[in-house]
């Protein structure tokens, strides 16, 4: 068995996984969690407006990364890989970020290609699913971007057919189109219009009508599941592989967009760092459901706690 550490740094959050890679007799690998953690650092704070990573955002990320480095050492990680996504691609001062990651972690964070990101996300999301439920459409609604990946899983290997990442996410749509708290009807209508326009590029690139199962990953969809289930506290065992139909998606999105900051913050399943962007994230998920249905794809969402972070860890296998 090999112990590894994976770090995924996105626009809104930075996540850590220490795990054991356990080889199976059929040449596949099983991932066993040792420690999994998420912190909201909002690395993409104001990048849309300034084109730069803010000093306080870099400091929040540095503090989280220092703690993750200690955790990786405590868990005996022999291999470490860190992947950085949307915000670091868009900023002019990215060298400051990458120098910091190498200094603290000992390895330099990678900004991977869209194709590599799609492969990692897809592999992490489908690894424990029944191949007969494919083809699978994996959708990752992040802070700065949303990614659609269509592919197959044969029980051993993930095969990506098509993928596309577009610049719309919970932070980006909130900063661009939902300034009020709660947003006005006009702002919501404009946000829906903008989301549909941006997502059109992804739907042109990915034939969603070929998918049998829609899988949603990352914090927006897992939190929506916890809200829909009215959980008294966030419970990943209850959200993982739960299902959200169109009615649950609509109801949850409606509440998030009508509630003010205080009401959202009082909900025990919403992480404090997501309180001000959950409405925007849910709106993207609702537009996705509507557009999938209109294009002959699945509109029922299977929620997964496994995603690119698991894919990064699996990529460290021999």
Per-residue pLDDT reduced to its tens digit, 137-148: 999 998 888 999
Closest to 255 (Cα-Cα) out of 266, 268, 264: 264
Q: The domain 2-111: what is its CATH number?
A: 3.30.420.40
Residue 303 has pLDDT above 90, yes or no: yes
Strand positions, DSSP E, the chain: 2-9, 13-23, 29-40, 79-84, 136-141, 146-153, 158-166, 213-217, 243-244, 301-304
Question: What is the rounded distance in angstroms from the CA atom of residue 286 to the CA atom of residue 249?
Answer: 6
Hey, what are 288's tokens?
């996705």
Q: Which CATH class is domain 125-304?
A: alpha beta
Displacement of CA 156 from its chain's centroid (Å): 23
Q: Could you read off the pLDDT of 201-237 as tens digits, one per residue?
A: 999 999 999 999 999 998 899 999 999 999 999 999 9
For 240, the token pair is 């993982």
Among candidate residues 46, 26, 241, the one with its CA nearest the CA of residue 125: 241
Bridge partners, residue 150, by sequence: 137, 162
**Residue range 146-159, pLDDT digits in tens:** 999 999 988 777 89
Q: Which residues contact 50 (CB under 8 A, 6 or more apart)?
A: none
The contacts found for 225-230 with CB under 8 angstroms, 24 or more apart, are 225/303, 226/269, 227/252, 227/255, 227/256, 227/267, 227/269, 227/270, 228/252
Specify the domain boundaries for CATH 3.30.420.40 within the chain: 2-111
How large is the average pLDDT for residues 172-196?
95
- Report whether pLDDT(189) > 90: yes
Q: Between helices 94-105 and 55-74, what is the axis angle to 10°?
A: 20
Are the C-beta atoms of residues 167 and 145 closer than 8 Å to each other? yes
Q: Would the pLDDT of 86 be above 70? A: no
pLDDT digits (tens, 9 = 90+) for 109-138: 998 877 788 888 898 899 888 889 999 999
pLDDT above 90 for 44: no
Residue 318: what pLDDT?
66
Residues of the chain with CATH 3.30.420.150: 125-304
Question: What pTM was computed for the model?
Answer: 0.79
- What percent of the chain is predicted at pLDDT more than 90? 69
In terms of phi and psi (left: phi > 0; alpha: psi -120 to 50; beta: otherwise), the region of 247 is: alpha
pLDDT tier, 25 (very low <50, low <70, confident <90, very high otherwise):
confident
Contact residues for 189 (Cβ-Cβ < 8 A; gap 6+): none
pLDDT bin (cut points 50, 70, 90) of residue 5 is very high
Burial (0-12, 13-18, 19+ Cβ within 10 Å), 293? middle
- The mean predicted confidence, pLDDT, of the chain is 91
pLDDT at 142 (0 to 100): 86
Strand-pair partners of 31: 21
* Residue 259, helix vs strand vs coil: coil
């Amino acid at each position: 068995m090999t112990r590894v550490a994976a770090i995924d740094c996105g626009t809104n959050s930075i996540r850590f996984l220490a795990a054991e890679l356990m080889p199976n007799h059929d040449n596949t690998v099983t991932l066993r969690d040792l420690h999994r953690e998420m912190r909201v650092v909002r690395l993409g704070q104001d990048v849309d407006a300034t084109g730069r990573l803010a000093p306080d955002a870099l400091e929040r990320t540095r503090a989280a990364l220092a703690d993750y480095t200690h955790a990786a050492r405590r868990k005996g990680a022999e291999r470490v890989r860190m992947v950085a996504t949307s915000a670091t691609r868009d900023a002019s001062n990215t060298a400051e970020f990458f120098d910091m990651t190498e200094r603290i972690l000992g390895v330099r964070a990678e900004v991977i290609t869209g194709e590599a990101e799609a492969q990692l996300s897809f592999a992490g999301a489908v690894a424990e699913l029944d191949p007969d439920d494919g083809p699978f459409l994996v959708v990752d609604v992040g802070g700065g971007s949303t990614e659609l990946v269509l592919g197959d899983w044969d029980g051993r290997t993930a095969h990506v057919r098509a993928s596309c990442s577009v610049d719309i996410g919970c932070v980006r749509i909130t900063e661009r189109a939902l300034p009020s708290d709660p947003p006005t009807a006009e702002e919501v209508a404009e946000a829906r219009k903008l989301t549909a326009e941006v997502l059109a590029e992804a739907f042109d690139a990915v034939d969603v009508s070929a998918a049998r199962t829609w899988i949603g990953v990352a914090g927006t969809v897992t939190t929506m599941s916890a809200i829909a289930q009215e959980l008294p506290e966030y419970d990943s065992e209850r959200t993982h592989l739960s299902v959200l139909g169109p009615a649950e998606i609509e109801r949850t999105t409606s509440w998030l967009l009508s509630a003010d900051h205080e009401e959202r913050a009082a909900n025990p399943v919403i992480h404090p760092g997501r309180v001000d962007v959950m409405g925007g994230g849910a709106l993207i998920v609702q537009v996705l459901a509507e557009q999938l249905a209109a294009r002959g794809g699945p509109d029922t969402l299977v929620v997964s706690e496994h995603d690119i972070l698991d894919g990064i860890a699996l990529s460290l296998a021999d």
